[in-house]
């Protein structure tokens, strides 16, 4: 099993291949969306090096509401279009932010966060939430991480009931 230590970009495809297999095993036979989000965030936080927050925000009545996560307590409600998470919903695309201090409207839940990756959860064309990862290191995430977490989002959606 991979340990939570820095992974060179060149090794990330092997890391994500292992991580996605682990998630498929973890979610197999369970369709509860809250239980699956809880276990997905725990796996990400446990296995990915250099994170200070990993979790879900779920769309409820037109805004993002905090879901299962690992890390410090976080802001509960985020309007669409606000912060990195709200931008991912509004644009319906993943957001890779090398320096959160340079992102207009970034919401600082944990002052330690320096870079962020947010992947929207899209079911039947509708954004139902996001997966949000924060790191205390600038430029922690790259396109290999984005592709890996987009695959994690697909596995979560396929396993979980709406």
d(CA 146, CA 149): 5
Interface with ligand SME (CB under 6 A), residue from 7, 43, 44, 109: 109
Q: Does residue 56 belong to the site contacting ligand SME (CB under 6 A)?
A: no
Which range, of 6-14, 24-32, 38-46, 76-84, touches ligand SME by CB under 6 A? 76-84
Which range, of 7-15, 22-30, 106-114, 138-146, touches ligand SME by CB under 6 A? 106-114
What distances in angstroms separate CA 135 from CA 60, 62, 99, 122, 162, one per listed residue? Answer: 26, 27, 10, 24, 29
User: Smallest distance from the beta carbon of 131 to ligand SME, in angstroms?
Assistant: 11
Contacting residues for 62 by C-beta, under 8 A, at least 6 apart: 80
User: Smallest distance from the beta carbon of 22 to ligand SME, in angstroms?
Assistant: 23
**120 and 136 Cβ atoms separated by less than 8 Å:** no
Contacting residues for 93 by C-beta, under 8 A, at least 6 apart: 120
**34 and 41 Cβ atoms separated by less than 8 Å:** no
**150 and 94 Cβ atoms separated by less than 8 Å:** yes
Residue spans of alpha helices (H) in the chain: 12-27, 33-47, 83-91, 143-159
Q: Does residue 53 belong to the site contacting ligand SME (CB under 6 A)?
A: yes
Closer of 42 and 107 to ligand SME (Cβ): 107
Q: How many residues bind ligand SME (CB under 6 A)?
A: 15
Residues 126-145 that bind ligand SME (CB under 6 A): 132, 134
Which range, of 6-14, 17-25, 33-41, 71-79, touches ligand SME by CB under 6 A? 71-79
Residues that bind ligand SME (CB under 6 A): 53, 74-75, 78, 83-86, 106-107, 109, 113, 116, 132, 134
């Amino acid at each position: 099993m991979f340990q939570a230590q820095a992974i060179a970009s060149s090794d990330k495809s092997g890391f994500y291949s292992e991580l996605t297999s682990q998630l498929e095993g973890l979610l197999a036979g369970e369709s509860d969306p809250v239980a699956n989000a809880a276990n997905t965030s725990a796996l990400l936080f446990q296995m990915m090096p250099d994170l200070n927050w990993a979790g879900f925000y779920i769309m409820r009545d037109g805004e993002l509401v905090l879901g299962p996560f690992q890390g410090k307590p976080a802001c509960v409600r985020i309007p669409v279009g606000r912060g990195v998470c709200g931008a991912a919903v509004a644009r319906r695309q993943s957001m890779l932010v090398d320096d959160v201090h340079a992102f207009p409207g970034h919401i600082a839940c944990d002052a330690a966060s320096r870079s962020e990756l947010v992947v929207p959860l899209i079911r039947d064309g509708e954004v139902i939430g996001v997966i949000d990862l924060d790191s205390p290191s600038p430029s922690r995430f790259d396109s290999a991480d984005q592709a890996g977490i987009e695959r994690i989002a697909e596995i979560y959606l396929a396993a979980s009931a709406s």
